Amino acid sequence: MKKIFLLAVVFIFITNATSAQSQPYVILISFDGFRWDYPDRGLSPNIELMKENGVAASSLRPCFPSKTFPNHYAIVTGMYPENNGLIANSMYDPYHHRKYALSDSVAVKDGRWYLGEAFWETAERNGITTASYFWPGSEMNPAYRRPTYFEHYDHAKPLQDRVEGIIHWLTLPPNQRPHFLT
């Protein structure tokens, strides 16, 4: 909880800093299975703090199927799963005779599955440094489709280490700091 508080403080500092206004910071946070109205219940003060000092969705309607990878990739591409390539967490492509599964580290790096262009790709092409911590599609090949900074998914990595990694990115020197993070 202390690390989430620290992340909230860094988030507020970064978003309110004078230099941040010329090139704003966008931090996209997703809590899988977290109802949109949980922060309003008074049970998550640090998330409430970020919401009060940033932007939050007033509601969310998941794409079909309501699975993690298809929905998270739809969020960063603006494309429905049937168009962005990720129609399920696990699937088989009979045309190309290959399998995709979120637990398959080789498949998740195969850029052929990801048909949409993620926000970080567009931002990078426009000179904006980006970072992604465990977001579907962020570790794909070829490398030019990835954010400047990213982490290969590691289920065993403790939450505290994940938060510290994001804090590290947000405290890099301004010319190295990412301005779009997932």
Query: 4-13, 39-48, 75-84, 131-140: which has the minimum mean pLDDT?
Result: 4-13
Ranges of beta strands (E only) in 66-164 are 90-93, 98-101, 130-133, 149-151
Residues 26, 52: Cα–Cα separation, whole Å = 15
CATH of the domain at 175: 3.40.720.10
β-strand pairing of 90-93 with 26-27: unpaired
Q: How many domains does the chain have?
A: 1
Q: Which residues are catalytic?
A: 68
Query: pLDDT tens, 2-25?
Result: 555 444 545 555 555 545 457 889
Provide the 3-class DSSP secondary structure of residue 100.
strand
Predicted TM-score of the model (pTM):
0.83
Which range marks the domain in which residue 164 is found?
2-181
